[in-house]
Amino acid sequence: MLSERAKKIKPSPTLAMDAKAKAMKAAGVDVVNFGVGEPDFDTPENIKEAAIKAIRDGFTKYTPVGGIDPLKDAIIEKFKKDNNLEYARDEILVSCGAKHSLYNIAQALYGQGDEVIIPSPYWVSYPDQVMLNDATPVFVKTNEKDKFIVKPDVLESHVTKKTKAIILNSPSNPTGLTYDKKALEGIAEVALKHNLYIISDEIYEKLTYDGFKHISIASLDNEIKVKTLIVNGLSKSYAMTGWRIGYTAGPKDIIKAMTNIQSQSTSNPTSIAQKAAVEALTGPQDFIKIMLTEFDRRRKFLVSGLNSIPGISCLTPTGAFYAFPNTSKLYGKYTAERKISSSSDLALYLLEKANVALVPGDAFGDDDYIRLSYATSMENIKKGVERIGDAVNRLK
């Protein structure tokens, strides 16, 4: 019999949608896939070469559990340069992707009776990781009119004696929006007042637009730094989703507990991928700019395309590679066969009748929206927007 824990968990809905679109594609259907959560760029050559060299050099054995020193040092340098933050090696843990970093945090911090605050819409794995560790996710709804930023007073109204932590994600998946300094200060104040940990998922740090500069909440001051666990990784910035390298920076005692947990579960992240990660962080950085310029072009095109469709409205995202349009005005309309009453109905209709794959907002905790990734070619985006427009216009 399965454990109670296993019964509570569902598969990642974004990966499920992606699998469905890929299956249709394999069956010969010309699907435009807006479902993907990874860059469509290839990992840069210099990074691949570093991994190939690592193999040739025989760097193929166990490494220290928490990552090799050159990688920890490269991460420490990154924090200094990008975030004006100082960490020591024993305040850094390298894991098998940022998702694994978040999971190690969940294992080290959450337990029975704990509540963890998650602003919604949220990234799909946060609630399930909390539940897998017997704690309770507490959702704080954010609104489009506030650009999906959680307001300090609303946050505070959800804090109880059981609240252990709050999970922040800026730039955000799914909304594509970002927290500025003032918004972060408001949250830091509530967290300090109630002695909460802040889990800050900054995986999209390098992907920002319109001159927005990412700020880490840990960099506000030292008081907040010692309550913050920063999660970041190489997947999104360096198009390295398959390499599985993520990392956490935070207080030494928590990092130590997480390292012990990792030592009893996965051991070290792949040796070869660690060498590649050193090159990614210390080698030339121009790849990011090239990718970002292309994402920016697509972002503008996609958002204006979506806004030109009657019944759909979309804020302009300032980070990541997602558009998160409001589609609630379409609910209540009819296809030739049935009524559209939810984001899932709409996503299914668009997949089956327009060959467009995207993720319904209810997967992220807000049914009024759908999520489209623009990590796909301009040609696909043009075709996809046209198809969505036609399909929406057919609704009665």
Binding site for ligand PLP (CB under 6 A): 37, 97-99, 123, 169, 173, 201, 203, 233, 235-236, 241, 246
Residue number of the CB closest to ligand PLP reads 97
Cα 315 from Cα 178, distance rounded (Å): 12
Cβ at position 37, least distance to ligand PLP in Å? 6
Q: Where are the alpha helices (DSSP H) in 171-251?
A: 181-193, 222-225
**Of residues 243 and 287, the one with the C-beta less far from ligand PLP:** 243
Cα 111 to Cα 100: distance, rounded to the nearest angstrom? 17
How far, in Å, CA of 363 to CA of 325, rounded? Answer: 14
Give 129 or 355: the residue with its C-beta nearer to ligand PLP: 129
- The residue (of 169 and 328) whose beta carbon lies closer to ligand PLP is 169
Identity of the residue, 174 or 384, whose beta carbon is nearer to ligand PLP in the bound complex: 174
What is the nearest approach in angstroms of ligand PLP to the Cβ of residue 302? 18
3-state secondary structure of 168: strand
Q: Which is nearer to ligand PLP, 87 or 247 (CB)?
A: 247
Q: How far apart are CA 82 and CA 60, in angstroms?
A: 31
Place of tokens 């040739």: 56
CB of 364 to ligand PLP, least distance (A): 10
Crossing angle of helices 252-263 and 98-109, in 10° steps, is 110
Give 233's DSSP letter. E
Closest contact distance (angstroms) between CB of 55 and ligand PLP is: 22
CB of 386 to ligand PLP, least distance (A): 27
**Which is closer to ligand PLP, CB of 169 or CB of 208?**
169
Q: How far is the CB of 305 from ligand PLP (least distance, A)?
A: 23
From CA 305, how far away is CA 387, in angstroms rounded? 11
Cis peptide before 13 (omega within 30 of 0): no
